[in-house]
Amino acid sequence: MDLQTIIKLDEQYYINTFGKRTPVCFDHGSGITLYDTEGVAYTDFFGGIAVNSLGYGHKGLTKALTEQVQKLLHVSNLYYNENQTLLAEKLVQHSVADKIFFANCGAEANESAIKLAKMYFYKKNRPEKNEIITLQNSFHGRTLACVAATGQEKYQKPYAPLTPGFSHVPINDFEALAQAADETKTAAVMLELIQGESGVNPLTQDYVDRLAALCREKDILLIVDEVQTGMGRTGAWFCYEHYGLVPDIFTLAKGLGGGVPIGAVCARAEVAAAFSPGDHGGTFGGGPLASCAGLAVCNAFEAERLPENSKLVGEYLKERLEALGETSPVRFGVRGMGLMLGIVFSEPIAKKLQQALFEAKYLVGAVGDSVLRLLPPLILQKKDVDAFCEVLASVLKNL
């Protein structure tokens, strides 16, 4: 089908919540390259919003999924599921968590984490300890509780009344947090260590250290939303490693399935034990196909050392960009870690630059007016960085 026909049908039948889509329809991919329905190649520095961690057409993932499709797509969670068990084991081996529960996406994983935190204090006979503090400009997903958790009014206003019990404090402001945290009422602090959706804003080490100490002191659970920062994205399996942090609960989704939807709630044993049979559930979470994908991603991470690659090539990309930012006609800085980087301009050129890069056959993200967001597949190589920086330099010159 030609692109114009697809666009026309989409306008007629699809509920448009994403604004005007970029006028391209992808058909297949290989490595970090996507091909549209006319065979035109695009280099992907956005990875399906941090989802396609292994790029496209990864051999191990494709083989595992092909075999699984031929065997079994779904069994209910009333039966044992080898893939699910093995994926849970893998995530525990690579993290500070002792137990895993599976969901279908990031929002559902966060919902589960919020429920687990509330249940933890409920079972301790402290039901009044049920409030959650999150950060301003955070993003935790689109379900109603996650919208309440998300510290951005634009996502909340039309959906009032929201789930009660959430409050928001400015990022990297310890005093504000200390004032909001109440030993008798606060169940958990929930945060992203690098805010993704709002423009790649990292928390400072000092803030995280003090926050973790405060949580311990006031018996408050620390939930780290690693939906975007997890699974190798920042140059470690999980971003909390960079901060020397041990969260009570952390959540995963985006990169975990390499393109197949799956989410996970990962918890320390004592916290995980708050969920007893009947307390929570889900028909699809961690089904044979999704768990197969997660397992194949973990296997590829181990075999190809992709978190290490993310660190190495991410550092190289950051260096190259920083050098370019100092000499280019439009000056810019770079934020973030590993292969989660924000290019921050002093002028509102993000949308225009994104469009110009698209015309040069590169896919990147834009946040607001002045930040470009890069979330390339973790298989990225230095030569891909060189090629991108060359194109970016020439696009900036001609902007």
Ligand X SMILES: *Cc1c(COP(=O)(O)O)cnc(C)c1O
Binding site for ligand X (CB under 6 A): 105-107, 110, 139-141, 192, 196-197, 225, 227-228, 253-254
Least distance between ligand X and beta carbon 34 (Å)? 20
Strand, helix or coil for residue 302: helix
For ligand X, give the closer residue by CB, 196 or 314.
196
Q: How far is the CB of 122 from ligand X (least distance, A)?
A: 24
Nearer to ligand X, 150 or 349 (CB): 150
Quickly list H helices, the chain: 3-13, 47-50, 59-71, 82-93, 106-122, 144-149, 153-156, 174-180, 205-217, 240-243, 269-272, 288-304, 306-327, 350-359, 382-397
- Cβ closer to ligand X: 110 or 130? 110
Are the CB atoms for 39 and 26 separated by under 8 Å? no
DSSP states of 224-262 as a string?
EE-TTTTTTTTSSSSTHHHHT---SEEEE-GGGGTTS--
Q: Which residue's Cβ lies closest to ligand X?
A: 106
DSSP 8-state symbol, 282: -
Phi, psi of 388 (to 5 degrees): -65, -45
The nearer residue to ligand X, 264 or 356, going by C-beta atoms, is 264
Residue with Cβ nearer ligand X (107 or 321) = 107
Residue bearing tokens 């006031």:
218
Closest contact distance (angstroms) between CB of 144 and ligand X is 12
CB of 107 to ligand X, least distance (A): 3
- State the Cα–Cα distance between residues 248 and 132, nearest whole angstrom: 14
Cβ(181)–Cβ(189) below 8 Å: yes
Q: Which residue's CB is nearer to ligand X, number 49 or number 180?
A: 49
Provide, rounded to whole angstroms, the least separation between the CB of residue 254 and ligand X: 6
Q: How far is the CB of 196 from ligand X (least distance, A)?
A: 5
